[in-house]
């Protein structure tokens, strides 16, 4: 994606270069909704929904800086993972396979993901990345690749 961003910055004409508007940021905040789990920063969507409108302008500028610089703040990539048991009731012996993890990310990270997803989903994916393509089952692709 960095090569596409560089191309957009250098061509000087009309382009499909991603640029986040305040409307996109506001729509992303509203998609998260109320009562979402906070991340390690204890910030929730309510903080942004009820904040001064200037906060959305600042977020739009930050997102565009992150996009064009190609760097995200390290704290934005942190999450709190909580193990959730797959079984119901009590179990006398439990191992790692009996749990699944749920990660709570910072709300700013969630907004970034909602905003960047439409642009990333348009990128061409290598044939080797079959597990990450939309509407493609990993099991089906393994079946085809292994020839079984």
Please report where in the chains the tokens 């942190």 appear, as a residue: 78
Query: pLDDT (tens digit, 9 = 90+) per residue, 41-60?
Result: 888 889 999 999 999 999 99
Owning domain of residue 42: 2-76+106-146
Query: pLDDT (tens digit, 9 = 90+) per residue, 66-75?
Result: 888 888 888 8
Pick 139 or 58 by higher pLDDT.
58
Whether 92 maps to a domain, the answer reads no
Coil, helix or strand at residue 96: helix
Q: Where are the beta strands (DSSP E) in 1-123?
A: 80-85, 99-104
Q: What is the mean pLDDT of the chain?
A: 77
Domain count along the chain? 1
What integer pLDDT is reported at residue 54 of this predicted model?
94
pTM metric for this prediction: 0.67
Whether 89 maps to a domain, the answer reads no
Query: pLDDT (tens digit, 9 = 90+) per residue, 82-117?
Result: 888 887 767 777 777 888 888 888 899 899 888 888
Whether 98 maps to a domain, the answer reads no
Whether 88 maps to a domain, the answer reads no
What integer pLDDT is reported at residue 25 of this predicted model?
93
Nearest one of 70, 73, 67 to 108, comparing CA atoms? 73
The encoded tokens of residue 90 equal: 């009590």
Is residue 144 over pLDDT 60? Answer: no
Whether 91 maps to a domain, the answer reads no
């Amino acid at each position: 994606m960095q090569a596409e961003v560089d191309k957009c910055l250098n061509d000087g004409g009309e382009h499909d270069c991603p640029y986040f508007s305040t409307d996109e940021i506001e729509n992303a905040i509203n998609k998260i909704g109320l009562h979402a789990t906070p991340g390690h920063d204890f910030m929730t969507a309510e903080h942004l929904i009820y904040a001064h409108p200037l906060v959305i302008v600042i977020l739009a500028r930050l997102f565009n800086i992150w996009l064009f610089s190609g760097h995200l703040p390290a704290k934005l990539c942190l999450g709190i993972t909580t193990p959730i048991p797959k079984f119901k009731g009590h179990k006398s012996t439990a191992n790692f396979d009996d749990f699944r993890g749920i990660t709570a990310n910072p709300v700013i990270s969630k907004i970034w993901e909602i905003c960047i997803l439409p642009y990333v989903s348009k990128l061409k994916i290598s044939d080797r990345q079959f597990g990450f393509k939309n509407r493609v089952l990993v099991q089906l692709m393994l079946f085809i690749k292994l020839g079984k």
